[in-house]
Structure 1
Amino acid sequence: MNIKRSIVLRVRIAFIIMFVFALAIIYKIIEIKYIEGDKWVEMAESIGFRDKEVNAVRGNIYSDDGSLLATSLPFYRVAFDATVCDDEVFNYGVDSLSMMLAAHFGDRNKASYKRLIKQARAKGDRYIVLGKRYINYREKKELESWPIFRKGQMKGGVIFEKENRRYKPFRQLAARTVGFTNSEKKGVVGLEFSFNNNLAGQNGRAVFQKVGNGNLKQIYDGNEVKAIDGFDIQTTIDINLQDVAESSLRKHLQKHDANYGCVVVMEVATGEIKAIANLSKNSAGKYRERYNYAVASSVEPGSTFKIASAIALMEETGLELSDTIYTGKGEFKFYDRTMRDHKPGGYGTVTLKEAIEKSSNIAISRWVDQSFNTKPQRFMEYVRSFGLSEPLNFQMVGEGKPYFKDPNASDWYGTTLPWMSIGYELRMSPLHMLTFYNAIANEGKMVAPIIVKSIRKADDVIEHYDTRVIRDQISRKETLRKVRKALEGVVERGTAMNIKGTDYNIAGKTGTAQKVKNGRYTKSYYTSFAGYFPAKQPKYSCIVVIDSPKGYFQYGSDVAAPVFKEIADKIFSLDLNLHQPLPSKFAVEKGIFPVIQSGKYDDLNLICNKLGISNHLSEPAEWVKASIDGTSIKWNEKSQSEGLMPDLRGMTGRDALFLLENKGVRVEVSGKGRVAKQSQLPGSRLIRGSYVTLTLE
């Protein structure tokens, strides 16, 4: 009986406890729903909804002809929820999927990918990243057809996380100039940084709701702030000339095993930069764009500065190109320092013109010391009047500032002026030096270099940048005429004779500056060549810098000048406006057989024989030109020298095209009939990829 009562008592106690617990649950439900309902609703909304920034689409960067240099495209990170797909789909497709991932990304082999995916499934991982890089939209569409992935996100577990990233269609071309952005969408270097305020746009804000798999969906409740996309910028860069500059610079940097080099090509009249290349050697020995030496570096320019000294001398003293000075046997002592000329034994007595052409340190320094020794401030006034001592206020951030000693400062010595006159004890950027030479080519008008022409929103121009004049005239016209004559002489007879041309003339100056290490000048050199072309009617100016070349050739004439010539040759071949019309001496000889003028001998001989026209060939030849011999035709061989422009006049368009295209030349044809005019003179040097215009009549 006691046992029965004990059991009943325990059952009643358990029932009472369960009843009380049930009442507590009911009370809590009532409390949560009716008493604290608003509190929990607000908390649920705060967890399920999130106020988030909406990124604006960054603006595009264009070349001068509208080609894209940088744009924002959707890229995707590939992730995987290993718990979604059923066993049959997973087991059937995991081998193939692993193999395709390994082939596509190349960062793991098939076995490694399979192990990664299977371990994630065993652990119940809902998110693993596949591949170390983002993929583009085309790749995304391809991956969507792969095993398992083709089932989509809900049944296959594939996750494509979209992110707008910068894309450069021309890859490394002008990479440092265009610049790049970091993960926060802010510019780091180059145009991306300098024009970040225009390119970045304004981010918006919106409310997003959490949906399945942790993804967010935007809620359009009327309170969202729409993102304003960034503006586009159009640069002055010519893609073709940029390619020419970079390829030529890279080739010669490799040839001389140099530390770094840069090239800037500028349009004389406008100051528009058509190409800017900066290449330096990395730890693997490859040349890449890593630093904008052309704009940011400030170094001793060496002999290219001698032209500024020469202009100051002619303006101050009326010095003529024919005036002479004695330079001794190649050594001259200024106070406690000895200056030397490059030529052993010296140049003896030289004219000012010869001093520039031969780049005599002693001649220039002696003239400057004689004229400005007691008034160095006057020399510095000329430097300022040339626009050399002030920053250019270039459109890109990071411009190297010029440095010149002050004659009243404690670091001004008796030897400062002689050494400054030949480009030492001062610092300038290559772009600044080019701007000075561009002014000489531009009849004395110094214009600021420009690399961005306009800021646009679609077809609307928000802001346009016109050519800005720094100095209306850097010197008298007569002085400039003499200087330009001397600069032509540098190439015709002086230190840059090795780049003397035949189809057009170059004017410029070589520069070779010894580099300072631990306060002492070393046998390591900073070489350069600054100038313009064509010399008579300049359209382009250019500066080439190559730092620390190795080997036997270490001077500006041997290292930098050939790069200038190679770039100028290619630009000349590409720009048909630089070509002169054929002189009258090349006019086609009419004769009494005006139709039979020039072509392939076998074809012309066959036609003449069919028509019963007497024709003769003295020596075997493939291509011939007709001349009159009484009542018959005499065939004369047309020379087809390798690498030279053939004489195409009188040929049919078909024959001319055949000849030129076999030589790797691009041809533009206008008119009908036979070739009457050709844009390049017969016998001039042909450059593969250049353009030749043929006029048929």
Structure 2
Amino acid sequence: MSSKLNENDNKIKKIVILFFFILFLLLILLISVYYKINDERRLPSLKTSKNELSVRGNIISADNFKITASKKIYKASIDTRYLDKNKKELFLKLFSIYSNISFKKLQNKLNEVKNNPGYLVLSYNIDSKTAKNLKELSFKLRKLGVFKARNVDGGRILRGLSIVESGEKRVYSYEDTLTPVVGYIRKYESEEGKTKVKGIKGLEKKFDDLLNNTKDGVLSGNRDVLSYISFDKNSTIKKRVDGANLVLNIPLKLQKNNEMILDIYKEKLEAQEIIISIMDSKTGKVLSLASSNRFNPERIYQKDIPSLNVNAIEYQFEPGSVVKPVAVALVMDKGRIKKNELFFAHNTKGKPNKKGEYPKGRYKVDRFYIKDDHRFKKHYLTVDDIVMYSSNIGTLQLAQRLSGPEFFEGMKRFGFTRKTGIDLPYEKKGVMPKVWQFAANDKEKEDNVFKATVSYGQGMTSTFMQIMKVYSIFNNGGKTVTPKIVSYIEVDDEKFKKDNLESKRIIKESTAKEIKRMLVKTVEQGTGRSAKIEGLEIGGKTGTAQIARGGKYLRKYISSFFGFVNDGQNSYTIGVTVIDPVSRGKNWYYYYASWSAVPVFKEIVDNLIKLNYLTPKKDIISKK
């Protein structure tokens, strides 16, 4: 009996021992799970929030190519205190392969914090694709035990490879294309410690507020033990909003072709800079604004500094003879030119040469003598002759028929000393003598030297784009348009057209038509003959002026040709300015506009034909 009781007691003891053993195993398992969770990460707080970084808007060409865009960049970092020393080389090799950062460079970074272990940034400039691969690597590194957990504040923490958004990078896909118009940016650090950018010049500056009008996305709510957000009615979801996109009137292909032309002619003419533009005469849409002096906004060097300005609107110069049609138009608009009127060329002193050409005319204004560059076979000039052969003497005689205030206000009405309104920052206005200087001799009924010199483009300054706007008036029935580079602004897939400024009448339609006829005749028979292309209506005016500096004229020149081309459906104003072409040696004559600016103009028109912006028609000239 007692043996049976002992046997039962033993069984009960074994059961109790087994129970406590199982209980002990369960306790160990729970403790293991607890520490496992803490090895991977700190137990998260109940609430969590995640921000999705927004980026600056894009600048897009008319043919839908991204000229510039912003891309997210990521920061890769580790805490060296958690890195297993025995697996350091393995980490470096794997990270180097995944990030495309050299092993040596990474090794040097680790050595720099060898005596002061802790937080280390391996790179601030990881792109999205690489960041995704590195996040996968981070998971693999934990599995391989490359990082070890440490006891911190009474708990065990494991910190491995961290990949987080660090900001944005501005990318210029076509390098120097459309610079300096597109402009450049500067990096700065936001209040959240993210790398952001702001515009400094060009379109990047003008539309900086719109391009940077961003809102980061937000995901917030309770999260589970694995750190995933559990969405419910108390969660917050805010969609990320990137900056506005600028869509331009400028097609990439047309712009690049024009830039290639400028590169060739800059070398040929040994010029400091060549500027060209193409503008729709009716709407003001700028289809191209190009310079031979460009730079890559992602890598600006010391040598690029002179090229950072948009000289089409920032460089002020004496325009020369391209202003003459304006002076003629102002007098004609007042009805002060008689039909078939003749003007004395002041060229009677001396005998004709073998070609029957009389000496160049000389006309005294105040104590100065004004001369003509062209020899004439006659003593009297028509208005057509004055424009076609660019007569200084003929132009100033016409200008003296206006009072000082009439001439001054007329020049201002055409846009001189006023900004064109083009959508670029830092536009200059040019300078002109004051109204009282124009009127100084009116009471004595004597010729005025200021009116004389300004009438043929000296003693004043203007910008390239001001003259573009002037010549669009002659090709638009006497009305002005505002140059526009940006077609529309795109915000969150919605398009917002820029306000079109109403065209304003500057001169009578009949006056514009008559000036246009004379400019066409200048290309047909005058100084712009090499711009002629059969089947197109082309008009324009040459201008060559000396560069003034410090109150003195240098032996350097600015040569221009401004005009228009029409094919019956399309109507474009085109300008070419060559700054300081070669003026000495065997190619000394390149400083004349007819040898420098006009050939570039013709190349630009040929380019428009090749790209189907113009279609020559055999009978277009005869119809006019």
TM-score normalized by the length of structure 1: 0.65
Aligned pair 1:453/2:457, yes or no? Answer: no
- In the other structure, the counterpart of 1:246 is 259
8 Å CA contact 2:327, 2:398 repeated in 1: no
- In the other structure, the counterpart of 1:73 is 71
| 1:91/1:415 CA distance change after superposition, 3 Å | same
Paired residues for 1:590-629 under 5 Å: none
Q: What is the aligned counterpart of 1:309 among 327, 335, 339?
A: 327
- In the other structure, the counterpart of 1:291 is 309
Q: Distance in 1 between matches of 2:141 and 2:439?
A: 76
Aligned pair 1:515/2:581, yes or no? Answer: no
Q: Distance in 1 between matches of 2:97 and 2:241?
A: 43
- In the other structure, the counterpart of 1:336 is 367
Q: Distance in 2 between matches of 1:469 and 1:77?
A: 50
- In the other structure, the counterpart of 2:466 is 432
Aligned pair 1:64/2:98, yes or no? Answer: no
Q: Mean Cα displacement is larger for which, 187-196 or 496-505?
A: 496-505
Deviations 1:124-160 (A, max 9, x none): 2531444xx83432444566789x9973798474646
8 Å CA contact 1:56, 1:228 repeated in 2: yes
| 1:143/1:172 CA distance change after superposition, 3 Å | farther
- In the other structure, the counterpart of 2:598 is 561
- In the other structure, the counterpart of 1:168 is 172
Give 3-state SS (helix, strand or coil) of 1:408's partner.
helix
Give 3-state SS (helix, strand or coil) of 2:435's partner.
coil
Compute the RMSD of aligned alpha carbons. Answer: 4.1
Q: What is the aligned counterpart of 2:245 among 203, 220, 232?
A: 232
8 Å CA contact 2:75, 2:121 repeated in 1: no
Q: Distance in 2 between matches of 1:515 and 1:386?
A: 23
Shift of 1:564: 1.5
8 Å CA contact 1:402, 1:427 repeated in 2: yes
Amino acid at match of 2:410: Y
| 1:334/1:453 CA distance change after superposition, 3 Å | same
Amino acid at match of 1:73: K
Amino acid at match of 2:609: F
Percent identity, aligned pairs only, is 22
| 1:112/1:180 CA distance change after superposition, 3 Å | closer
Q: Distance in 2 between matches of 1:136 and 1:325?
A: 73
- In the other structure, the counterpart of 1:366 is 397
Paired residues for 1:490-501 under 5 Å: 490-501=522-533
Amino acid at match of 2:250: I
| 1:452/1:390 CA distance change after superposition, 3 Å | same
Q: Distance in 2 between matches of 1:394 and 1:357?
A: 30
| 1:481/1:89 CA distance change after superposition, 3 Å | same
Q: Distance in 2 between matches of 1:157 and 1:323?
A: 87
8 Å CA contact 1:301, 1:427 repeated in 2: yes
Aligned pair 1:300/2:318, yes or no? Answer: yes
Q: Distance in 2 between matches of 1:149 and 1:545?
A: 61
| 1:287/1:121 CA distance change after superposition, 3 Å | closer
Q: Distance in 2 between matches of 1:377 and 1:305?
A: 18
Q: What is the aligned counterpart of 2:283 among 248, 261, 270?
A: 270
Q: Distance in 2 between matches of 1:242 and 1:254?
A: 19
Amino acid at match of 1:426: M
Deviations 1:94-125 (A, max 9, x none): 46866997xx56xxx86565444444446525
Deviations 1:223-260 (A, max 9, x none): 89876543333221222221122222222223333223
Q: Distance in 1 between matches of 2:455 and 2:74?
A: 58
8 Å CA contact 1:235, 1:451 repeated in 2: yes
Amino acid at match of 1:126: Y
Q: What is the aligned counterpart of 2:501 among 443, 454, 468?
A: 468
Q: Which consecutive residues of structure 2, in runs of 5 or more, have no partner in the other structure? A: 1-45, 148-159, 189-196, 222-228, 296-300, 348-358, 442-447
Shift of 1:570: 0.6
8 Å CA contact 2:220, 2:237 repeated in 1: no
8 Å CA contact 2:220, 2:235 repeated in 1: no
Shift of 1:421: 0.2
Shift of 1:206: 7.5
Q: Which consecutive residues of structure 1, in runs of 5 or more, have no partner in the other structure? A: 1-47, 210-216, 584-697
Q: Distance in 2 between matches of 1:53 and 1:346?
A: 80
Aligned residues: 518
